[in-house]
C-alpha cells in the first residue's frame, strides 16, 4: 500500500467510493468524474504503479481484471463498452495505481 495513493486510500476505507464489486484481489467502483453515462474502474488491491511495471508474476491478476470487464459491464446494463488503461504521465495516467476504465452508455471522451 502506498499511503499517498488515492486508490490505496479507497481500498483502506479512508476515502469513500461507490463500490460495485470486490473480492480478495480487486475492487471496482464508479469514477468520481465520469466521462460516460456508465464509467467505472477496476483496480487491483496490490499497488502496482502502472501496466509498465507489470511482469509475469502479475499475469493472473491482469487476466482476472480483464475477465471482470464484461461481467461488470453486463451487470451495469451495458450491451457494449470501451476499456482504457492509461500508462505513464505521457499516456494520460493521473493516478499511479494500475486501473482499467470501463465506459458505456454514451460518449466516453477520448
Residues tagged active-site: 99
Any idea which residue has 464508479 for its cell? 30
3-state secondary structure of 39: strand
- Per DSSP, what are the bridge partners of residue 15? none
What is the Cα–Cα distance from 41 to 83, expressed in whole angstroms?
A: 9
Cβ-based neighbour number of residue 58 at 10 Å:
16
Amino acid at each position: 500500500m502506498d499511503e499517498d495513493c488515492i486508490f490505496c486510500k479507497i481500498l483502506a476505507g479512508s476515502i469513500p467510493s461507490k463500490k460495485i464489486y470486490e473480492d480478495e484481489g480487486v475492487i471496482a467502483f464508479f469514477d468520481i468524474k465520469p466521462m460516460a453515462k456508465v464509467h467505472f474502474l477496476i483496480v487491483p488491491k496490490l499497488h502496482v504503479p502502472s501496466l509498465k511495471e507489470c511482469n509475469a508474476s502479475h499475469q493472473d491478476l491482469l487476466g482476472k481484471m480483464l475477465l471482470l470487464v464484461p461481467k461488470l459491464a453486463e451487470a451495469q446494463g451495458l450491451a457494449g463498452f470501451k476499456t482504457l488503461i492509461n500508462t505513464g504521465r505521457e499516456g494520460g495516467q493521473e493516478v499511479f495505481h494500475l486501473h482499467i476504465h470501463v465506459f458505456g452508455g454514451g460518449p466516453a471522451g477520448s
